[in-house]
Amino acid sequence: MRLWFQCGIVSAAVGMLFLAGADALLGQGITQPSQPLRAIDAELSAEIDALYQRITELEARIAESHPDPGPVEPIEFYPCVSPEPPVCPFSKCVGYDNGFYLRTCDKNYSLKIRGLLQFRQYSDWRNVTTGDDFESGFVIERAPILFSGNFITPQLKYWYILQASRASGTEFLEEGKIIYEFDNGLVLQAGRFRDPGFLREMEVSYTRQLGVERSYYNSVFASGVLEGMSLSKQNEGYRWMAFLNDGRNSGSSAVNKDFYQDYTDIALSASFDIKFFGEWAQYGDFTSWPDEGPALFLRTSMFWEAGEHGDSVPANNQSGFISYAGELTYENHGFAAFGSLVGRHSKNDGPEINQYGGLCQISYQVIPNHFEPFARYEHIWFDGYTDVGYNLMPVNQSTLNIMSVGFNWYFHRHGLKFTMEALHAFDEVPFSAPNTGFLQDEPGESGQTVLRSQIQMFF
């Protein structure tokens, strides 16, 4: 633009001078070419120089009044920003994640509902002198509805299980507890729930067992479902737990549970777990999945119970005892091994009873995530009695050895699986444990065999 302005001024000046010179020539007559041209050239040159000087002054004034803005920067085009999505879309507040859930947008209130169906078939062969030596049939072992979630704050949680009796179908509260997680990692639980402080088979959910059911060994030595309060804390390499309760099986549906109807004055279970390597998540079942690396855990635990002294039922005075156990768990890319040793001793004025037991089991996923054969061995020394508490009964044979082999076929891990298992008791079975398939043998008889299978859907 500046160049065009300068050229225009120069052209106009030259044109004016040319016209002025032409008029002068015409005024003098074109017939007089003898006029010298040198004087005209000098005059034009002087006027042109004056015009150039004028142009230079004008440019200087223009530059002062309009400073150079510098180079033009490229224009940046930013993408259009869409409006922010809602803080909690409906799809994030209601859905399915290992259970159907419903929660508020701030996550201070939530509810998760899960269901379980365990359908089984039992066949039992035993030596009898009278009656039927073969029993077989189908049963819905468990069909509970599980509710869990948090209330007011994510730190305050609840958990309860509505269950139906496998025999009568009567509904009852199997478990119900309030859970509070402190900022420092301590966890307080209060209510009715499985004893998490003694024997791992009892701590691990019945949906995550290796076989169809927990072992007969567990039926003899486990403390069962209890009512009380527990305190626990889990760290990177270890965890501990203490459970103050009303005594063995105090939360069972088969016993009276009011505060004055239990069989003990007080009871306590405690455990200490060490994680040598691996992840704590691997400690939640007895299966090693192919995507899980090496893991090794050690547990030491105890259960102590003081009898109900001065009770109207004299047998309750005989409920005092102490149990202790050591358990080792190893897992590595589909291979799993578990071992348990337990001792139990009476602490009352009755007969001195010292019972012991051991269990070991191994499994390996031959077809990863699907086919898992397993084997288990159990040994129990009863020391002449079935128990050490209020309901002890003498046994004809103190030794019991049980061997079992079976397999799991996983369709969707523990969510959907089929299990089949064969068990053989080499010695006399002193009492029935129907959910294991074993029934009480006649005195002096042994060699009972059980075939059991189960389809489980946990959703």
- Paired residues of 175 in beta bridges: 161
- Work out the number of other CB atoms within 10 angstroms of the CB of residue 191: 19
Q: Is 249 exposed, middle or buried (0-12, 13-18, 19+ CB in 10 A)?
A: buried
CB 358 within 8 A of CB 214: no
- DSSP helix/strand/coil, 38: helix
- DSSP helix/strand/coil, 256: coil
Taking the domains of the chain in order of start, what are their residue ranges?
117-142+172-458
- The domain defined by 117-142+172-458 folds into Porin (2.40.160)
CA 350 to each of CA 36, 321, 345, 390: distance values in angstroms, whole numbers, following the listed order:
157, 11, 12, 10
**Start-end of H helices in 126-211:** 200-203
List Cβ neighbours of 173 (8 Å cut-off, separation of 6 or more).
160, 161, 162, 163, 192
- Give the separation between CA 59 and CA 50, rounded to whole angstroms: 14
pLDDT one digit per residue (tens) for the chain, 459 residues: 444 444 454 444 444 444 444 444 334 443 444 444 445 567 777 778 788 788 888 777 776 766 555 555 555 545 555 555 555 555 578 999 999 999 998 999 999 999 999 999 999 999 999 889 999 999 999 999 999 999 999 999 999 999 988 877 788 999 999 999 999 999 999 999 999 999 999 999 999 999 999 999 999 999 999 999 999 999 999 999 999 999 999 999 888 778 877 778 899 999 999 999 999 999 999 999 999 999 999 999 999 999 877 666 666 666 789 999 999 999 999 999 999 999 999 987 778 899 999 999 999 999 999 999 999 999 999 999 999 877 789 999 999 999 999 999 999 999 999 999 999 999 999 999 999 999 999 999 999 999 999 999 999
CB 18 within 8 A of CB 11: no
- DSSP helix/strand/coil, 453: strand
CA 437 to each of CA 14, 95, 164, 226, 245: distance values in angstroms, whole numbers, following the listed order:
123, 38, 19, 24, 29
Taking alpha carbons only, the member of 409, 423, 424, 422 closest to residue 456 is: 409
Q: Which helix (H) or strand (E) holds 241?
A: strand 238-245
CB 23 within 8 A of CB 40: no
List Cβ neighbours of 63 (8 Å cut-off, separation of 6 or more).
none
**DSSP structural state of residue 17:** H
